[in-house]
Structure 1
Amino acid sequence: MKADYEDALRLYVPRRTHVVLRLDGRGFHTFTAKLERPYCRRLADALDEAALKLCQEMIGCRFAYGQSDEYSFVLSDMEPATAPLWFEGNIQKIVSVSASLFTGFFNKAFASDQPGVFDSRLLVIGQRTEVEKYLLWRQLDASANSLNMLASAHFSHEELDGRSTSEKHDLLHGKGINWAKEPADFKRGRAVIREGRKGWRVDRDIPVFNRVPEYLETALSVR
C-alpha cells in the first residue's frame, strides 16, 4: 500500500539548490478589515514573530522577507557539501509543516478570537542571483501595496479607480501626506536575518535591495 500510494507522490527538492517558501494569509482581506489602516503594527509584529520562530525551526534556512500578509523564506543546502535540507527536501512535508507551524506561531502572537490561516508554496531556484531577483520582486510589490493602502485610507475606491502611481502620490500630497516619509518597514517590508552566533533577529529598517546589493549578499551567505 505504501509503495503504491504514498511513495508514488513523494517528491523531493533537487540537492544543491535554493528553495523559496512563500507563506500567504488565506482570506486576509476579510481578516484584516477591522484592523488599523493603512498599517497595523500589531499585525506586522505577529507576522514577524511567526517568521522568526519558523526560521529557528527550519534546517537550512538562510533568510526571510515579509510584506503585507506574506513571508518568503530562503532555504539552501549549497554549502557546505554535507549541508542538510529540512525534511531531507521532502516537498509535501516542507509545505505542510511550514504552513502549520507559521499559522500556529502567528495565532499565538496575534492572540485574536478569529484565527488566521496561511498556505505555503514552494519554488526551486537554482542560482542565488535568481533568488535575489525574486526577493526584489516581492519588495517592489511591497512598495506598490503600501502606496495603495495609504491612498485607500484617505480616498474612496471611486476616487482612486484608474489612477496611476504618480497620480496617487499627487492626491496624497494634496492632503499633505508624503508616502516617502512613512515608516521604512511599511514601504519596503521586513527581513529576518541570522547574525552568526547571535542567532536570528527581525530587521525593520532594510534597504532597497537593488540599491544596496551587499545587504542580500551578506544575508544569504553561509554562516
Structure 2
Amino acid sequence: MANSEFEYVRGFEQQDAIPPSNWIVVRIDGRGFSKLCEKYNFEKPNDQRALDLMNAAATEVVRSLVDVVLAYGQSDEYSFVFHESANLFERRAAKLATTVATTFTAEYCLQWRSFFPDEELTRPYPTFDGRCVAYPKRKILKDYLAWRQADCHINNLYNTTFWNLVQRNDMSGYAAEEALKGSLAGDKNEILFSQFGINYNNEPAVWRKGTVIYRAYDDETESGPQPHSKGAINRDSKSQIEKEKKRRQKARIAVEYVDIIGDAFWDARPYILAGKRGQVEEE
C-alpha cells in the first residue's frame, strides 16, 4: 500500500490477535430470534426444520474453514472451535468472529427455502452476531463444550415441560411458569410422564443433546498425522502445511447428536483435539 499523509489513521486500529497455543471458539447467536420464531410460526418447543437449517448452515461453515475442527450447536447458537495452531487472519479476533458470523448468516438465508418452502423469507432477515474466546487448555475447551451441552439439556427439558403444560393443559404462560418455579429435573420428568405420557429420554437426541459437527478421518486408526522423524522434512514447511490443508479438505464432515460431556466421544476420536503434530498430548 502506498504511503500517504492520511496513513496515520491506521494507528487507531486495535491489535486483537488471539495469543498462540490457544484454542479459539467463535460462538454465534441469532439476533432477535424470538420475534423470528413468532413471525414464521416455529413449532414449540422444537421446530425440526429450524434445527436442520441451523445444522446445514453450520456444516457449510465447517466445510469452508478448514481450521475449524469441531462445531457444537443448539437452539439459535453455534460454537466453532479453531485448532490451537490455526493462523487464519493471523488469529485476529474481529476477523474470525465476523467471518464466521457472516458466512453462517449467508448460508442460513440462502438455504432457508430448502427447509421452509412455504415460508418466504422477508425483511428483516435473520442475522447472527459472533464473539471470540480463547481457551489455553484442552480440558478448559472441553469444559466449555460440556457447559453448552448441559445448557441445551436444561433449557430443552424446561421448554418441553412448559409447552406441554401450555398446549395440552390449556395453561397460560404465567401459570406454567409458576407451576415450574423451583422445580428440579426429576419434577419435570415426572410431569411429562404422569400428565402427558412422555418419557423425556425418548425425545429426539438432537433436541436433548444438540448437534456436533466435526471432521472425521475414517481411514485413520491413529491420532492423526505422525510427528516427523529425525532428518525428515519439517512439518511446518510450506509443502507439509499444504498437504495438511488438503487432508482436512478431504475429510468427511460428520453430523451427530451425541454426548460430549463424558470421555467416550473424545476417546473414540482423539484426532479432533490432537496436537499440532498429531500427538494426543497430556491435558
TM-score, structure 1 normalization: 0.88
Higher relative contact order by CA 8 Å / sep ≥ 6: 1 or 2?
Answer: 1
Partner of 2:145: 135
Which amino acid is the alignment partner of residue 108 of structure 2?
F
Counterpart Cα distance in 2 of 1:202 and 1:136: 17
Q: Structure 1: which 5+ runs fail to align?
A: 79-83
Counterpart Cα distance in 2 of 1:135 and 1:72: 8
Does structure 1 residue 52 correspond to structure 2 residue 59? Answer: yes
Structure with bigger gyration radius: 2
Partner of 1:89: 91
Counterpart Cα distance in 2 of 1:88 and 1:218: 24
Q: 1:141 offset after TM fit, Å?
A: 0.3
Partner of 1:173: 193
Give every structure 1 segment of 4 or more consecutive aligned residues whose post-TM-superposition deviation is greater than 6 Å: none
Does structure 1 residue 103 correspond to structure 2 residue 113? Answer: no
Written as runs of structure 1 = structure 2, the 5 A alignment for 1:1-150 is 1-5=6-10, 8-33=13-38, 34-78=41-85, 84-111=86-113, 112-114=120-122, 115-150=125-160
Across the two proteins, how many residue pairs are aligned to each other?
217
The superposition leaves residues 15-70 of structure 1 with CA deviations (integer Å, 9 ceiling, x where unpaired) of 22110010101111121131112221111111111111111222421100011111
Contact 1:21/1:122 (CA < 8 Å) preserved in 2? yes
Counterpart Cα distance in 2 of 1:2 and 1:145: 50
Contact 1:59/1:86 (CA < 8 Å) preserved in 2? no
Q: Structure 2: which 5+ runs fail to align?
A: 1-5, 114-119, 167-172, 218-249, 279-283
The superposition leaves residues 55-88 of structure 1 with CA deviations (integer Å, 9 ceiling, x where unpaired) of 122242110001111100110243xxxxx42212
Which amino acid is the alignment partner of residue 166 of structure 1?
G
Q: What secondary structure, in the 3-state scheme, does the structure 1 residue paired with 2:207 have?
A: helix
The superposition leaves residues 166-198 of structure 1 with CA deviations (integer Å, 9 ceiling, x where unpaired) of 222221112211111101111001111101343
Which amino acid is the alignment partner of residue 11 of structure 1?
D
User: Match for 2:164 among 138, 154, 158?
Assistant: 154
TM-score, structure 2 normalization: 0.71
Partner of 2:211: 190
Contact 2:26/2:81 (CA < 8 Å) preserved in 1? yes
Q: What secondary structure, in the 3-state scheme, does the structure 2 residue paired with 1:155 have?
A: helix
Distance 1:154 1:61, change over 3 A: same
Q: 1:152 offset after TM fit, Å?
A: 2.0
Moved more, 1-10 or 126-135: 1-10
Counterpart Cα distance in 2 of 1:160 and 1:169: 16
Counterpart Cα distance in 1 of 2:7 and 2:96: 20
Counterpart Cα distance in 1 of 2:216 and 2:104: 22
Distance 1:211 1:61, change over 3 A: closer
Contact 2:71/2:78 (CA < 8 Å) preserved in 1? yes
Which amino acid is the alignment partner of residue 113 of structure 1?
L
Percent identity reads 26
Partner of 1:210: 262
The superposition leaves residues 135-161 of structure 1 with CA deviations (integer Å, 9 ceiling, x where unpaired) of 000000010111122112211331332
